[in-house]
Structure 1
Amino acid sequence: MTDHPTPADPADLDATDPLAAYRDRFVGADSPLVYFDGNSLGRPLRGTGERIGRFVDEEWGGRLIRGWDEGWLDLPLTLGDELGRVVLGAAPGQTAIGDSTTVLLYKLLRAAVAARPGRSDIVVDRDNFPTDRYVAEGVARECGLTVRWLDVPHDGGITPDLLATVVDERTAVVLVSHVAYRSAFRADLPALVDVAHAAGALLLSDECHSVGAVPVRLDEWGVDLAVGCTYKYLNGGPGSPAFCYVAARHQGGLRQPVQGWMGHAEPFAMGPGFEPASGVRAFLSGTPPVVGMLAMRDMVTLLDEAGIDAVRAKSVALTSYAVDLADALLPEVRLASPRDPERRGGHVTLDHPAMQAVTARLWERDVIPDFRHPDGLRLGLSPLSTSFTEVRDGITQVREALDAVA
């Protein structure tokens, strides 16, 4: 058996954590509940309730329809620019907020394949998030294309060498998750971009499990298109709207398929035909989800204050500590995430045949991870709201639950 180092004392880790004070800003973080699902739904910030109350009383209740001319109409773009600056590495004018991740994936994927006429393939891996796979299948069926499936390791994801085996002159678009939803494998996105571009294909990146926990540099890496949700590490709340990124170099040549009035060049002209707006606004469709953006605004401000590089350092420390604890306390469990923290995102997955029963037992005891088929217990460790003591307490209870269901 491989010897593993004794895990550190969590009290010492919390005492030296430079971001520890941020935990107090989240609702419920001071309770005994152990929350290992911040990568599915982040805790709300304490200040968000006050913001929503002020919005109801002052902006919605006080300004009423005048609010549209006083900032609401432009909020998908102004907040998109702020999101781009703080966590996406995107210059202004390339990020917009609205719709769900699924709808935005469809818009961008459909626009991308249309921009590569004569090419027949969409490349996606079999272990990608279901929405990504389903949308790819739907677009392929709609457009008479083929999905080229890529098999990846259970505890890994797409590598440049693997991608190079399937990308060729037939490839229109490569659809990849920057951080894999099951394994937390962090793809080498700039290298994947190089492989796709060498074949003349576009690359569409799903940033759902990256944004807010892992530094993203979409402009620097040459990414063509990206989408992501805002209710995980951006703490936007249940169903908060997603974002899309369209690199400036593509904005004049891509035409999204859901032509709504907010994407029109003159939405209030109410004209007889559709003329797309210039820039990323053309990728909007319907009325902006103003209320749905309120909580996210608070978290983007907090991330700007903390700094995404410091957040990433805390994320690496938390997931590494979880791996150390699993090695020491759960020797029968298989690590289904990369051991190398450079190749790992913000969560850790532990495989064991009993994990579905373990998850149910843990939820009864106010320890909240999630289960991913077939055998995975997924520990999502949101850096600003999770402490090292919480991680230790939670994994200790995983040990007890495993013993109980064995």
Structure 2
Amino acid sequence: MPDLPPYLQPFVLDVEQDAEQHVDRVGHVDFHRPASTARTGAILFIHGGPGPADLEVRPRDWPVYRGYATAVAQRGLVAVTVDHSLIRGFDQLTAAADEVEAAVGLLRADPQIDPDRVALWFFSGAGLLAGEWLDSRPDWLRCIALTYPYLATPPGVDELVSAAEVIGKHKDLPVLLTRVGRERAELAGPVAEFVSAGGTALDIIDVPKGQHGFDMLDHDEESRAAVTKALDWAIAHLGEDPAGQLPIPAATTTTDPIPATTIPAPPRQPAKRAAASTKPSTTPASTTNSAGVSSVAAEVVAAAEAAVEAVTPAVPASQPATPTETAAPAPAPAPAPAETPASRVIGREHAAYEAHDLEAFLALYSPTAQLQLADGTVMRGRRSLREYYRPRFDSGQCKTTLVQRMLVGEWVVDQQFSHESDQGQTMMVALYRVQDGLISEVRFLA
């Protein structure tokens, strides 16, 4: 097939999408769904890079990744592919790491996917992204597969966590390496070091005659057998639910809300009590001012800021609370307002927070999320959020009780009590903005 560039060569397995399978495209992420609608595990396929300068087809549309995804969907699981920035060059490594983390968040928030049954599969240059997952090993991560990976960062590129330094750190994390016999010299050495460091923690599939990219370049029985064996390995590790896994509950609800005047609705939307309703929340028309702030967002923020004057000063759930002389007792539970896509995301965030699951918590945030504390401190990005929240998760300071919730389009405004260790309870108001299924902005008001 000389007229096609290597990345457009067909996948070595003969797979065709069944009529009942379908693909959902969400931003830079594709969900390849099986014919069954049952809840199941998922594999995220992470392409390599860099790619050629004249690249015309994005990686998730390459035959090799569509082939892997179709093969997984035919076996009853959800397969996910993602376009990330590493395709443009190794200088995009950090951006690619954040984009992959965002794809994991979308994957785990998908209603068809069991968020505790996820596998990550790295190819070629994406091997440089695997070290952070081998190091952190979130509880939901069932296994990691690497196929002809890069495992040494090129000179002049900021290094992430080295896979060779952390392989075997978590003895209960299965890791598979598909190794080719005709690997390029600059890649073969780091792979050998990785194998030496991995020891019994590493499963290996050897493709003695294979070259880098064998799954699209070497159409022979050896290649087909290696790919099939790797798929069998990954799917087997997603087969059974682990004992004691935590279900993701619906958004926490409360009772006897504080009167609606405490958190006034924005202009042109009458204030309402938080009562059960079968009608979906409506989204007001939004315009944008010269500063780039939508009128809806400005109204929500203004409403919440006005509300704070009527309640005990707030602090974020993550900050240590201090006892207050006038702190009111937590109200009894009451019906919740109608849910929206945004409120469901916040419900999952709250569940992960109270379960002290830091990685599940962070996976619901955009990689460029911004969080503003009551004192005006601003943090940006998952890395800064992880550094900020880790001590609180480790110490068990993760409990809140929702009092009242207001839903306005992509915004969720929560009035809640924060219950910190040995500190009683403190009232706070938090504003969450959800965009494309992830939390993009949080503001705590005091």
| TM over 0.5, shorter chain | no
The structure that is strand-richer by fraction is 2
Instruction: Report which structure shows greater RCO (CA 8 Å, sep ≥6).
Output: 1
The structure that is helix-richer by fraction is 1
TM-score, normalised relative to structure 2: 0.26
TM-score, normalised relative to structure 1: 0.28
